[in-house]
Structure 1
């Protein structure tokens, strides 16, 4: 159950702030955010080693390219034909480069998805059901996207009652917690204050808000499905967008204090310690 919270305030110096949690089988290998794609050298994101794409991509902007980010959540509905299926992990990269040219894609080649596509002046959620694409412009305020779609109200939702209850519980707990917290306004740029200072009251919420890992509403979760199949939260991203740039903070050990600011623009991407867990 990946989740993205998006706060939009056009009056703020950072009009868009995003909290995104990636949930996946913990044995699925990945690399931390870096410039992993030579054909798109400006883009930064974590790289999924199984399919080569990403779950969240950031474009720091420059020239004619505005700063932007896109994050991907799997959806529910009819799957693409295996003989022609394309990886959904390419979609965030396409959404923040090449003018975001998603409209020309043959979406029938992709399994269902929800894609949050953000710039400082506009945030859209694109939802592909396997049959139909829905494109929504988000108004100012706080929004949440889960695998059941924007606010958990997609036309195609999970058939699992347990998963549906968990997504509803997560929204029910964390939406009011973030709405009541002081909205962060991080300064964008190549260097800034520590993560804990700039993300303020959002940070303990992003660490799980004290819920147990197996609680129904858990944002940071770990669940044992048996036969060695462990499902859990494998990374957390905090992204702030302003007209002048992006701030991107990343945690590869959700629930811990292991945050760092990812370096963007002309700066070197922050190095990661050896022995990162796979996800």
Structure 2
């Protein structure tokens, strides 16, 4: 049950801030956050099974993308194309304009995307939206369903991120603390559902924070976790956004 909050042009000095958790099976092979060496310019972790990613940036292109999967019991198709490949394609420019692929997205298992290209941002899902939704300044949260679905834990994380930005510059330690509000895995979101899933089989694999300033400088940081819920390391990469 992944979760992500994006503060989009809500603060003059920090127009782009992201706080997100990736929840996944602990035995799924994954590479940590790094600058990819394949010439794409992508900075992200990597799913070593399908080759895509769940959240990443391209500072050269001025692009960011993140994805959360829809929870659709009984609807998952093993032969569907990789949803993580959409993130990679956006970051590399293989997906050039947001509307270019909209008519093909039903072929994928259910997802929501947040996409940023320089001064423009969109939310896209392939289950409830007839067209991409352009973001206006504000706070946006996603979990494992449609953007319009009520998710109490998303609301709590949005308010936490808003509270940090109301009082100081983006503080990755404060955001990591918000993302670490833990509890056991649950089948459905409820008032007490946790932001951080602590479970030895399927749980929070990493927390990611992105903060970009008005001058295009910022950072992306990833904190990783083992099946016991304990941190296994943190990577931080400085960014110089050119979009």
- TM-score category of the 2 structures, normalised to the smaller one: 0.7 to 0.9
The structure-2 alpha-carbon separation of the partners of 1:76 and 1:238, relative to structure 1 and needing over 3 Å to count, comes to same
Q: Secondary structure at the match of 1:147?
A: coil
Alignment match, 1:103: 99
Unaligned runs of 5+ in 1: 154-167, 187-197, 225-229, 266-279
Q: Is the 8 A contact 2:5 2:157 kept in 1?
A: no
CA apart distance, 1:148: 1.2
Task: Please state if 1:138 is matched with 2:113.
Answer: no
Query: Aligned with 1:223: secondary structure?
Result: coil
Aligned-residue offset at 1:213 = 4.2
**Alignment equivalent of 1:250, drawn from 193, 197, 222:** 222
Equivalent of residue 90 in structure 1, options 78, 85, 90: 85
Superposition TM-score, scaled by structure 1 size = 0.69
Q: Aligned ranges for residues 180-195 of structure 1 at < 5 Å?
A: 180-183=163-166, 185-186=169-170
Q: Deviations over 1:174-222 (max 9, x none)?
A: 3333333344545xxxxxxxxxxx43543321222xx434584211112
Q: For the residues of structure 2 that align with 1:109 and 1:214, how far apart are their CA atoms?
A: 29
Higher strand share: 2
Larger Rg: 1
Residue 32 of structure 1: aligned partner: 32
Q: Return the alpha-carbon distance in structure 2 between the equivalents of residues 255 and 147 of structure 1.
A: 24
Contact kept? 1:119, 1:241, Cα under 8 Å = no
Find the counterpart in structure 2 of residue 124 from structure 1. Answer: 122
Question: Within 5 Å, which residues of 2 pair with 1:1-279?
Answer: 1-9=1-9, 11-36=11-36, 38=38, 40=40, 42-61=41-60, 65=61, 67-76=62-71, 85-98=80-93, 100-101=95-96, 102-105=98-101, 106-119=104-117, 121-129=119-127, 133-152=130-149, 168-183=151-166, 185-186=169-170, 198-199=171-172, 201-208=174-181, 211-213=182-184, 216-223=192-199, 230-242=201-213, 244-253=216-225, 256=231, 258-264=233-239
Tell me: CA distance 1:175–1:50, structure 2 relative to 1, closer, same or farther (3 Å): same
Cα 1:52/1:133, change in 2 over 3 Å: farther
1:53 match: secondary structure: coil
Call closer, same or farther: CA 1:116–1:92 in 2, change over 3 Å. Answer: same
C-alpha distance after superposition, 1:10-48 (max 9, x if no partner): 5522201000110111111100122346252x1111111
Structure 2, gaps ≥5 residues long: 187-191
Distance 1:72 1:98 in 2: 16
Is the 8 Å Cα contact of residues 8 and 139 (structure 1) preserved in structure 2?
yes
